[in-house]
Structure 1
């Protein structure tokens, strides 16, 4: 282990840094045991101008850049604004460490402006990537080999993933949990974190479509009622009647609370049910379509390809059979984050 010096943490970094700490750093033994092993790795550099960090905060960590090698996943939560707006060079030791970690087989992840560090290391060359919308033009100009997409919340390019800014980092971290441990674990973790309504996150990604979206009084019970009947024909009128509202009032209330229409909410829930069945059972695709309320196997494939980006069969193959609730041991992922000041 490398003992690092105190590292000032700019205010912009605090939020992005807190996201992986919250998602990966707190054990969730009832969801998956063992959980992730999170370690914060610092550059060991002090602020070059000698000024104190905003809010007077500093971070001391036992782990240095050498510890990135060997991690299953390396996350760069962001870089200082001066490295983005003023062109200040990123620490060469950081860039070298990121390259070494990638070459050793680590999955590389950036949140917000952390994409600049991955790009500087050459890890985004020829890849589709994103960052905070305020900085995507600078990212594209500075690194022309990167295919910058400013229309998505995050991009999953297999072993390299990037997210847009701020809360989009949470979307990506939950997506990582979904990839590693399955939709059920990600959904339950999202419930505990009281995340906002599901937000589409781009193309060809395992998007969670079943995270509950509202606790609005008067809607929670009817939505739970509908979840218990996803395999049955349901209409807006049925749900409105259960909520003791007119269809127009129910439509307006649900859209205000979730940002989506009743029919889209039903589709999202049914796709989430199908995801869980594909992950945890060996049921035929036809049966999965029936139990999730999506009907025929062809209809299930149509909606999966459109909403999730892969076929049901490909989605099933992406997850091991040892999902939570079975007797198999869940893979333990080690995540390390590099902090900058």
Structure 2
């Protein structure tokens, strides 16, 4: 049995415990108890979450063992220092584990334990600069939802902890089981660590369902022309009314928003696949490789080849 241990301290973010569902559902998918999950704290007993809820934990000792340690963060790691007892455990006995993961600002706890020295890592975008100042030898990748560097895993904020847990699961049991668990958890899609913390769909943030549906349709059909008439039909509006409502809700014209969705999808393909730029352009709705490069440089300030070289490095 693979033992998953959660190391908690007072005022931890309760959402981190939601990642336990990934391992729970993996057991259901497999039809056996592959994972065993325990929660710990330095002294054991009740630990208070940031919401004031109480969680019962076992006491950590020098003999406490797990195959993977999960370390949740707190709401503000700048004003709430890491528990010294947790830091000491991570710097000592926890080293026997196969992996150690910092969830959200839990990366700061790993940093205090010296686990991020000369390693790649990420954290919640709000605290990137604080982490950079506090742990200067850490190679921060601030736009990633999770980062793996050897036995040390770190995630960005909140929901990306689920993506990290799915990544751990895929590392243990393969992509098919990971997909099955993500499907049972009704995750919109299984995100890999290479994806960015910021989504264009979240940035555009339409207020009404009909504009949201039009954007979702566009994201699923990037190989199509996606003109105003086509999107307006999805939203059940006239083209003129759709353009007016769309711009009012998102701050962007439909054409500009579609271009941003195409760029985001293209960048993900460039970073995570070995497809040629011709294929990337075709799959994300650009006319050809030259058109992709032109829009890419205008949007990101660098050519697609530079992003691919960086991802491979």
Q: Contact (CA 8 Å) 1:175, 1:207: kept in 2 or not?
A: no
Q: Secondary structure of the equivalent of 1:57?
A: strand
Match of 2:95 in 1: 99
1:235 to partner: Cα distance? 3.1
- Greater relative contact order, per chain length (Cα 8 Å cut-off, separation 6+): 1
Give the aligned partner of residue 264 of structure 1: 257
2:147 pairs with 1:156: yes
Q: Is the 8 A contact 1:210 1:268 kept in 2?
A: yes
Aligned residues of 1:140 and 1:146 also touching (Cα < 8 A): yes
Pick closer, same or farther for the CA change 1:310–1:293 going to 2, 3 Å.
closer
The 2-side partners of 1:191 and 1:211 are apart by 21
* Residue 158 (structure 1) shift: 3.7
Q: Distance in 1 between matches of 2:185 and 2:248?
A: 24
Q: Please, which of 203, 226, 230 is the counterpart of residue 222 of structure 2?
A: 230
Q: Which position in structure 2 is the counterpart of 1:15? A: 15
Q: Distance in 1 between matches of 2:278 and 2:101?
A: 36
In the aligned structure 1, how far is the partner of 2:186 from the partner of 2:124?
26
Give the Cα–Cα distance (whole angstroms) in 2 for the partners of residues 228 and 87 of structure 1. Answer: 42
CA contact (8 A) 2:155 2:161 kept: yes
**What is the correspondence of 1:1-341 to structure 2 with a 5 Å cutoff?**
10-18=10-18, 20-27=19-26, 38-43=35-40, 45-46=42-43, 53=48, 54-59=52-57, 65-68=64-67, 71=68, 74-78=69-73, 85=80, 88-91=83-86, 92-101=88-97, 106=99, 108-127=100-119, 129-131=121-123, 143-146=135-138, 152=143, 154=145, 156=147, 158-159=149-150, 160-167=152-159, 169-170=161-162, 172-173=164-165, 181=175, 185=179, 189=183, 192-193=186-187, 205-207=194-196, 216-219=208-211, 222-223=214-215, 225-226=217-218, 229-236=221-228, 238-240=230-232, 242-243=234-235, 244-245=237-238, 246=240, 247-253=243-249, 255=250, 263-265=256-258, 267-268=260-261, 272=265, 285-300=277-292
Give ranges in structure 2 of 5+ residues lacking alignment.
Answer: none
Alignment CA distance shift 1:304-1:95 (3 Å): farther
* TM-score, reference length from structure 1: 0.56
Cα RMSD for the two superposed structures: 5.8
2:154 alignment partner, SS class: strand
Aligned counterparts of 1:294 and 1:287: Cα–Cα separation in 2: 10
Q: Distance in 1 between matches of 2:218 and 2:77?
A: 50
How far 1:163 sits from its partner (Å)?
3.3
Q: CA deviation at 1:22?
A: 3.2
In 1, the alpha carbon distance for the partners of 2:303 and 2:96 equals 31
Q: Alignment partner of 1:99: what SS?
A: helix
